[in-house]
Structure 1
């Protein structure tokens, strides 16, 4: 497949839709399987940003909504690979959806900043455990050590994506089970 610029990619919106639709559907199935099916489903649109840094600014969520926007420059680059991108795109969709869920939790929290404090404490515990374990940890935990995840909220969003897929190791899966238990009971949106 020859490389398409983002502008060409968006001109062929049907191609972009066919490329992303299965990933968005996968993300929504994973969310429903985790008991989050009563929340609004992920909706995905695109934006053009010509970045010359691969993988930069690949997703955005609109505050207070489950509307997720993916960078077409990143999607065009991903489309050039010979591998199936379904999980990679679904991961980004789930990561951005995690920001939406965090917004919901914060609106309903009893103490100011209580949810973020819990996430920061779990993130600190994760970093401490990983220092002791080194690189012997499982592949998901190693991915959660990336520079991107030095901020607790970004770590939570990546952990959320792995949690939705059922691949987040303990004790973090139990933490997210507990943190998101309230979300499962929210009325259908």
Structure 2
């Protein structure tokens, strides 16, 4: 991996492509392994941050397609690290893709709002369980207790990424198997 100053990194989009490509491959491989490879593909593009929020990503979806736009300033910051942040980029891609999957689930529901109610109940159940476990919970569960995840949809998106990666502990992983049963196919081998 080449380490470039932020300005050079942003100007050379092919560097961003090289930086993100392994993470996109990882995200797609994980989705396929969970039986979600039959869902519409996710494309990744970039934008230059104007709001000075270096961690921002945008999930756009229309006409059955998902496009995740990653913040080049955030990617430039990651590129300065000495470790390859493949999982960190893949996690953001999966988090944004989870918003797209939520839209698909909502389009299929018979009763409007049913999917969001299930997610809110899953979030409440998670918070209840974690309040009993305190800080003895595993590292993934501790990350899911962040202020960012105080909103049920954001908790769902982060938990979706961990579930796809196979690191979300039970019984929360079972929640995703049940929630996504209607869009999953047998995983490819």
Q: TM-score, normalised by structure 1?
A: 0.92
Rounded Cα–Cα distance in structure 2 between residues aligned with 1:113 and 1:52: 34
| Residues 66, 100 of structure 2: 8 Å contact kept | yes
Which residue among 46, 57, 60 is the counterpart of 2:58? 60
Rounded Cα–Cα distance in structure 2 between residues aligned with 1:94 and 1:2: 26
What is the CA distance between 1:14 and its match in structure 2? 0.9
Name the SS for the 2:69 alignment partner: strand
Deviates more, 1:15-24 or 1:37-46: 37-46
Residues 145-184 of structure 1: pairs in structure 2 closer than 5 A: 145-184=145-184
What is the CA distance between 1:53 and its match in structure 2? 4.6
Rounded Cα–Cα distance in structure 2 between residues aligned with 1:79 and 1:42: 22
What whole-Å deviation, never above 9, does each CA across 1:48-67 have from its counterpart, x for those lacking one? Answer: 01454542x2x111133221
Rounded Cα–Cα distance in structure 2 between residues aligned with 1:20 and 1:26: 10
Name the SS for the 1:156 alignment partner: helix
Name the SS for the 1:183 alignment partner: coil
Residues 18-167 of structure 1: pairs in structure 2 closer than 5 A: 18-55=18-55, 57=56, 59-64=57-62, 65-167=65-167
Structure 1 unmatched runs, 5+: none
Name the SS for the 2:182 alignment partner: helix
Aligned residues: 181
Rounded Cα–Cα distance in structure 2 between residues aligned with 1:2 and 1:69: 21
Name the SS for the 2:103 alignment partner: helix
Rounded Cα–Cα distance in structure 2 between residues aligned with 1:112 and 1:70: 31
Name the SS for the 2:46 alignment partner: strand
What is the CA distance between 1:9 and its match in structure 2? 2.3
Q: TM-score, normalised by structure 2?
A: 0.92
State the partner residue of 1:3: 5
Rounded Cα–Cα distance in structure 2 between residues aligned with 1:4 and 1:152: 34
